[in-house]
Amino acid sequence: MKKRLSTSMTFFWKYIFSSIWLGGFGIGTIAAIYTLGTEGLPSLIGLIFGFALIYYGCLRAKIVYIDDHYLYVSNFRTNIQIPLENIKNVSDNVMFSPRPIFIEFKNETEFGKKIMFIGYTKMFLFFSTHPAVQEVKNRMKKDL
């Protein structure tokens, strides 16, 4: 039976939040530069920094399910199935919220050798590993 590892808010984080934040900050940056001239340039640096963070934490997000033999990955247009034995490493970034989880593959997939998804909501994780990371690692061991 498939279990969802990614948050049900993936669409929101990837498309809605990213568009609103980047659009709003972009418009604010243009307005600041237009009205303040060179004094508005620090907001451009903020926009570039913000874009980098949103790209890292939201725009690359995939939808991920797992069962006993496969990882099912979607980017809202393409769905692929990846054997668990193709997984090389699983990790998460405890310093980010929402929590990005990274899966690295031994062989190239349609989405590359590494994917990122936002883990399902789990309260009070603080600096501990997300349960989805352990779930993938346990299924990898079981599949051997």
The DSSP result for the chain, as a single string, is --EE-B-TTHHIIIIIIHHHHHHHHHHHHHHHHHHHGGGGHHHHHHHHHHHHHHIIIIITEEEEEE-SSEEEEE-SS-EEEEEGGGEEEEEE-TTSSS-EEEEEEEEEETTEEEEEEEBPP-TT-TTSPPHHHHHHHHHHHHH-
pLDDT the model gives residue 124? 79
What pLDDT sits at residue 15?
A: 97
Query: Splitting the chain (144 residues) into consecutive groups of 10 residues, what average pLDDT does each group show?
Result: 94 97 96 94 95 95 96 97 96 89 97 96 83 91 69
The reported pLDDT for the residue numbered 143 is 61
